[in-house]
Amino acid sequence: MKRLIATLYSLTPSQGTPTRQAVRPLCADGNRLDGLNISCAIVDELHAIKKRLVWDKLITGAGKRPSTLVIAITTAGMSLESIGYEQNSYCRKVLNGDIDAPSFWGCIWKADAGDDPYCVETLRKANPCWDAHQDHEQVLATMEKARLVPAERAGYLTLHLNQWLANGDSWLDLDRLVRCRDTLNIEDFKDLPCYVGIDMAKVTDMAAVVQCFYRADKLYVFPHYFLPSETIANSNNSQYHHWQEQGYLHSIPGPIIDPGYVLNFIEGICAEYDVVTLNADPALMDGVAMPLAQDGQPIAWVPQAWKLSKAAKALQSLVLQERIRYESPVWEWNARNARVVTDRNENIYVCKDVVNSTNLIDGVVSCIFALHSLVPSLYEGSGTWYIPE
């Protein structure tokens, strides 16, 4: 409640002076913010707002008067599906000149990719008041602790360097990953062998079908995502609507995942591309696997958990060498969410941060499924898949 403060007043038409004014905190429950008539709203720590309905009600309430003002102040956070990250992304596009928004003003102080996170100059860059009143000793102690203790880094990077993370320490090197983002055209790969990974969904969950191609010593990843339309409409993930509009996310009409919809999409891939294999987890494949097998398509089951360690390490190696190319922001979000568990033999198992987390990893899992078949075929060739020890 304390994060939201609004000023409400009215003006007399003749004098233009306030006849009634109030400054008050607002409830953080968006369902209780109907009917607002706001002249100014101040939102502190926007990254902590869990549901975008609160933001939407404030924007709507501020649109009822002329010359209204909405101010949002925030550090970075650890949720890339939050309204805070959405507004941060929008602000960057405005600042870069990609969007013309005369009524929007923003300013971001942050450490950039490539900056040394453990030096004073980077701290000064990300903190505009560094030379005025910062407690330098305390911040420098926090910096040194974050450098030495991995568990301390997420808080340091978000709060002191204003770098957005996906719920703490990610498995993949995010700076290198982002440098691999590219504008791609899948039509350019129709003459190459296509390796497909399929991760089907539970009733209302996300399904992913990922096409992988290997060309000129690089892996090219083309993911396709599916969600029920009602899941998109009711989700707390503010990015789902944008991803759907941009064509990165397929909306399946209704409240559940329709296996027939995904099946038709996979059949279309098989008709257009030189599909070597359709690798999938046998769980949740009812209604998809049997028709594909009956049609003579190369459906194959892949092992799960630790038995996919080699393929998972191949993906990690490709990111470290910056030998992977992708375009989808959904896949990048999945990659940021991915964590690993390691056994005593140094096998790794890719998983979400917690069971039933909404920070999904389906596209990364599907990519690993595809690599399970692609990695052995490349070993037969150049053998340059992994970074030398």
Measuring CA to CA, which residue among 358, 373, 383 is closest to residue 227?
Answer: 358
Domain range for 319: 176-379
Same structural domain for residues 54 and 188? Answer: no
44 located within any domain: yes
In the listed set 33, 52, 74, which residue is the last one of a domain according to the structure? Answer: 74
Q: Give phi and psi for 203, each to the nearest 5.
A: -55, -50
Listed residues 43, 74, 105: the one ending a domain: 74
Same domain, 180 and 60: no
Same domain, 235 and 368: yes
Whether residues 63 and 202 fall in one domain: no
Same domain, 234 and 374: yes
Task: Give pLDDT, residue 336.
Answer: 87
**pTM of structure:** 0.67
Indicate whether 61 and 182 sit together in one domain. no
What is the pLDDT at residue 1? 38
- pLDDT (0 to 100) of residue 270: 97
Spatial contact of 223 and 315, defined as CB atoms under 8 Å apart: no
User: How far apart, in whole angstroms, are the C-alpha atoms of residue 17 and residue 172?
Assistant: 57
Per the domain annotation, does 116 fall within a domain?
no
Which segments within the chain are labelled E, that is strand? 4-11, 18-25, 40-44, 69-73, 193-199, 207-215, 218-228, 249-252, 274-280, 299-301, 324-325, 339-342, 348-351
Residue 302's CATH number? 3.30.420.240
- Is residue 202 within 8 Å of residue 259, measured between CB atoms? no
Which of these three, 22, 40, 74, is where a domain ends?
74
- Say if residue 142 is exposed, middle or buried (CB neighbours under 10 Å; 0-12, 13-18, 19+): middle
- The answer on 222 and 360 residing in a single domain is yes
285 in a structural domain: yes
Count of domains forming the chain: 2
205 domain residue, yes or no: yes
| The Cα angle at residue 85 between residues 48 and 134, in degrees rounded to 5 | 65
By the 10 Å C-beta count (0-12 exposed, 13-18 middle, 19+ buried), 368 is classed as buried
With tokens 């390691």, the residue in question is 342
- Assess contact for 1 and 28: CB atoms under 8 A: yes
Distance CA 95, CA 99 (A): 8
Q: What single-letter DSSP state applies at residue 112?
A: P
Strand partners, 40: 7, 69
198 and 321 assigned to the same domain: yes
Per-residue confidence (pLDDT) for residue 9, from 0 to 100:
45
The answer on 312 and 189 residing in a single domain is: yes
Residues 64 and 188 reside in one and the same domain: no
Is residue 95 assigned to a domain? no
Q: Is residue 126 part of a domain?
A: no
pLDDT in tens, the chain (389 residues): 344 555 444 444 444 555 567 788 887 777 778 878 888 889 999 988 877 888 888 888 888 778 889 999 999 987 777 889 889 989 999 998 989 999 999 999 999 877 889 999 999 999 999 988 767 999 999 999 988 876 688 889 899 999 887 655 678 888 789 899 999 999 999 999 999 999 998 888 899 999 999 999 999 999 999 999 999 998 878 889 989 999 999 999 999 999 999 999 999 999 999 999 999 988 777 789 899 999 999 999 998 888 899 999 999 999 999 999 999 999 999 998 898 888 888 889 898 877 777 889 999 999 999 999 998 766 544 444 443 33
Decide: 348 and 340 in contact? Cβ < 8 Å: yes
CA pair distance 250, 265, nearest whole angstrom: 10
Question: How many C-beta atoms surround the C-beta of residue 107 within 10 A?
Answer: 7
Same domain, residue pair 223 and 340? yes
Domain assignment of residue 388, yes or no:
no
Position 40 in a domain: yes
